[in-house]
Amino acid sequence: MSSCKLDHPLEDVLSKLDSQKSFLPAELFEECQTFLATNPTQLELNELFHLLKKYDLASEEEQLTRNEAIANLLTA
């Protein structure tokens, strides 16, 4: 995803996750919630935020790519 110099606090990432809930696979949404409860690093928060950003507007192919990137982030 694009790099951003802005750090996204946990609250922003949770808000972004909630706003994309209806577009994400349910299991992935739940895994994100669990991950965010584990005190992720600022780098991880920023990466997840950008993977979720405009997820609803992404093509189906792009969503699948992001799903894979999110899964990799959550299991890293």
Instruction: Give how far Cα 13 sits from Cα of 19, 41, 57, 61, Å.
Output: 10, 12, 18, 23
**What angle separates helix 60-75 from helix 26-36, to the nearest 10 degrees?**
40
* Segment 14-60, tens digit of pLDDT: 999 999 999 999 999 999 999 999 999 999 999 999 999 999 999 99
- Whether the per-residue pLDDT at 76 is higher than 90: the answer is no
- Whether the per-residue pLDDT at 1 is higher than 70: the answer is no
